[in-house]
Structure 1
């Protein structure tokens, strides 16, 4: 009787060991989903990891979203298992009109997809230059969707290419109330702080903010070699 119990215990232990090894030896995801957030086919410049998309996989009882963060270049990527997924926007998260559209994606190996959006405002042209101890910027705006008004246009200065409303050393803003004609260039001037003067260079970027929307749409960061 004792021997039977010992043999039964050994059998249970062996099964548990095999099961545990099987779980530990599951393959890790090898496929890649890559894409861009675009308007008219062009990627949008955003705050680094400030905008998030949601990815859901079908066929699971416990559906859990996979957060996908967008880079400041408007790109995103995720390492996944092959399968069918649904990509959706996080409501009110980006500087564009919220959409409930779902993009169905079949991931197999390397898969690419663009997420089209409709911004409230875009910056169609920009110049950023040094003038003595100041950085001057001039931008032209276009209102793409008029459901929300303009809030402000801001210039941000930083020590790295990651520069935005959260990551900046100095800057300047012009409120919408002070912009009488949106079809005309908007000018901004920010004093160069001592910390950036000592480095000999800085990065500058302009962002446009829509009223009631937290995230901004930006120009590409520009490196300015200080004279």
Structure 2
């Protein structure tokens, strides 16, 4: 019985030492942040926070080469405050911009990394306002690639993260062709027809965008506008 007690005590001591060893691993000591910027205009490239563009990164020094991901905010910015100082292979993927090559980046402390990208579409001269009982969006489009523009849309949601994947009301129009950069496109959301989700007296965010016909492409947007109904 005495031997059994000694063995159990030894095992508990061993497990305790292992737990302390795990707890003593260093915590992430660096931050990586930046913004997706239009290479031509230097303006932030608006994104979807749900099913939007993604950053893949692989930390060097490990055999597994596991891909990790970072989400991009609606305003085109991103930030990771829990990353280890090291060298990484970083690639923006599945975006609303022309695909980019991977790049090696050394992260140490506060590290800023902006991505200069070519958005598939620029939504220009956008205005969204309440006109009578409708929300009316007017805008022009600038197409930067030869692919057809698939569709345009106007989306509404109580949160500023509004977009095609996150909306309570919408108006869309199929394009399926090249666009005229001088044409003013117009979309309307009828408020009474959406009274079950757009309540009079409340405020909502509205956002206009367009999507190119390309593999894994995402919507390009103008900035969201808050309107009281």
What interval of TM-score do these two structures reach, taking the shorter chain for normalisation? 0.7 to 0.9
- Cα distance change on mapping 1:6 and 1:199 into 2, 3 Å: same
Whole-angstrom distance in 2 between the partners of 1:102 and 1:124:
29
- Kept after mapping to 1: 8 A contact 2:205/2:224: yes
Whole-angstrom distance in 1 between the partners of 2:138 and 2:111:
38
Residue 105 (structure 1) shift: 1.5
Question: Any unmatched runs of 5+ in structure 1?
Answer: none
Whole-angstrom distance in 2 between the partners of 1:108 and 1:180:
44
Structure 1 range deviating more: 178-187 or 55-64: 178-187
Find the residue that maps to 2:182 and give its secondary structure.
Answer: coil
Number of the residue aligned with 2:150:
151
Residue 102 (structure 1) shift: 1.7
Residue 15 (structure 1) shift: 4.7
- Cα distance change on mapping 1:190 and 1:9 into 2, 3 Å: closer
Whole-angstrom distance in 2 between the partners of 1:76 and 1:63:
22
Whole-angstrom distance in 2 between the partners of 1:172 and 1:191:
9
Whole-angstrom distance in 2 between the partners of 1:42 and 1:188:
24
Find the residue that maps to 2:199 and give its secondary structure.
Answer: helix
Q: Normalising by the residue count of structure 1, what TM-score does the alignment of the two structures yield?
A: 0.86
2:200 to 195, 198, 201: 198
Residue 25 (structure 1) shift: 2.0
Residue 17 (structure 1) shift: 3.1
Q: Normalising by the residue count of structure 2, what TM-score does the alignment of the two structures yield?
A: 0.86
Q: How does 1:206-217 map to 2 (within 5 A)?
A: 206-212=208-214, 213-217=216-220
Q: How many matched pairs?
A: 220
Matched, 1:82 2:82: no
- Kept after mapping to 2: 8 A contact 1:118/1:145: no
Question: Any unmatched runs of 5+ in structure 2?
Answer: none
Structure 1 range deviating more: 174-183 or 106-115: 174-183
- Cα distance change on mapping 1:11 and 1:37 into 2, 3 Å: same
CA RMSD of aligned residues (A): 2.3
Whole-angstrom distance in 2 between the partners of 1:113 and 1:180:
33
Whole-angstrom distance in 1 between the partners of 2:43 and 2:179:
29
